[in-house]
Amino acid sequence: MTVTPARGPHPVTKIYCPSHPDAVLVEDYRAGDMICPECGLVVGDRMIDVGSEWRTFSNDHVGKDPSRVGDAQNPLLNGGDLSTVIGKGTGAASFDEFGNSKYQNRRAMTSQDRAMLTAFREINTMADRINLPRNIVDRTNNLFKQVYEQRCLKGRSNDAIASACLYIACRQEGVPRTFKEICAVSRISKKEIGRCFKLILKALETSVDLITTGDFMSRFCSNLGLPKAVQIAATHIARRAVDLDLVPGRSPISVAAAAIYMASQASADKRTQKEIGDIAGVADVTIRQSYRLLYFKAAELFPPDFKFDTPVDKLPQL
């Protein structure tokens, strides 16, 4: 039961159960014990709980936050300084005759940190507009930090870099957003975001996977309110079209839009080209062009178990 000091293959924990040295100890926070899950031996006791002392709620901004450790910093992102500041005075002596505090230390953080914080706020706003999850936002923040510290793109607008980082993060997470979607939530033009995108890839020496038609299907179809069967059909059509190389040189987004059009026109939920174009950010002439290329082999493109509301030969010919 004695606590033996660590040696060898236990770099993280300093204590371990003597009979099960490889077992990961379970912490019982109520009693302050570390218990071995294999044999139930209490290995360490009087463990100090490093959680917060009180609970604080976000709508409780009543002046004092009773937490004595301060905010959770973002040390990875903000230069992580552990510097301290002089606190505001409390006694009468620290205020001069007008009631202003004598020691005014509103030392702002470095301009670098401030620029980064502004960018993070901007990224948060943009991501919020298109409901991106936290992991993408975190990845974007990390990318921005890397790019910012490299200073290669120093002349470019921070917002442009932030938008491009957001685009890259979505791609890296496997849920790409089109440039037009990112444009919609950013004030930067598509051209500038595209330029920054290429520069960032070069600066960070990474590359991203190519976009495929399937990446956008679920989003476009649910925005259009199409049922699952139509979505599956559209995905199948687009994939077959690319495999058969019916649409060389066309952007996957245009092919996806045309596939959705074909699938929806064959089902009971028909959508017009304009509606699909609005959602996908594709011009309806572009959908028409891609659709014409798909129309030839329409019969081969549909999945075998698709229920046709409008048969293949009755599909609109544009």
Partner 1 sequence: MEAGSEPLPLDILITNVVCVFRVRCHLDLRHIALKGANVMYKRDEGKVVMKLRRPRVTATIWSSGKIISTGATSEDEAKIGARKCARCLQKLGFQVRFGAFRVVNVLAVCSMPFEIRLPDFTKQQRPLASYEPELHPAVNFKIKPLTASMQIFSTGSITITGLQNSCSPPSLIFPHPKPRSLLPR
Residues near partner 1 (CB under 8 A) are 178-179, 194, 197-198, 201, 207, 210-211, 242, 245, 248-253
* Environment class of 281 (CB within 10 Å of its CB; exposed 0-12, middle 13-18, buried 19+): middle
Helices then strands, counting H and E runs in the chain, come out as 11, 3
Task: Give least dist CB 150 to partner 1, A.
Answer: 19
Task: Give least dist CB 213 to partner 1, A.
Answer: 11
Nearer to partner 1, 178 or 186 (CB): 178
Task: Give least dist CB 192 to partner 1, A.
Answer: 12
**70: which 2 tokens?**
């301060």
Nearer to partner 1, 201 or 283 (CB): 201
The answer to whether residues 157 and 119 touch, using CB atoms and an 8 Å cutoff, is: no
In which element (H, E) is residue 203 found? Answer: helix 190-204
- Classify residue 121 by its DSSP letter: H
* Environment class of 124 (CB within 10 Å of its CB; exposed 0-12, middle 13-18, buried 19+): middle
Residues facing residue 17 across a β-bridge: none
Instruction: Identify the sign of the CA torsion 131, 135, 136, 139.
Output: positive
Q: How far apart are CA 186 and CA 79, in angstroms?
A: 26
Nearer to partner 1, 35 or 246 (CB): 246
Q: How far apart are CA 291 and CA 293, in angstroms?
A: 5
Nearer to partner 1, 203 or 229 (CB): 203
Nearer to partner 1, 145 or 250 (CB): 250
Task: Give least dist CB 242 to partner 1, A.
Answer: 8
Task: Give least dist CB 238 to partner 1, A.
Answer: 13
Task: Give least dist CB 205 to partner 1, A.
Answer: 9
Task: Give least dist CB 28 to partner 1, A.
Answer: 51
The percent of the chain in helix, strand and coil, each rounded to the nearest 5, is 45, 5, 50
Could you give the 3-state DSSP secondary structure of residue 303?
coil
Nearer to partner 1, 120 or 179 (CB): 179
Q: How far apart are CA 48 and CA 43, in angstroms?
A: 14
Task: Give least dist CB 196 to partner 1, A.
Answer: 12
- Classify residue 314 by its DSSP letter: G
- Residue 236 phi/psi, 5-degree rounding, is -65, -45
Nearer to partner 1, 146 or 251 (CB): 251
Nearer to partner 1, 154 or 198 (CB): 198
- Classify residue 33 by its DSSP letter: E
Nearer to partner 1, 44 or 252 (CB): 252
Task: Give least dist CB 128 to partner 1, A.
Answer: 23
- Residue 163 phi/psi, 5-degree rounding, is -60, -45
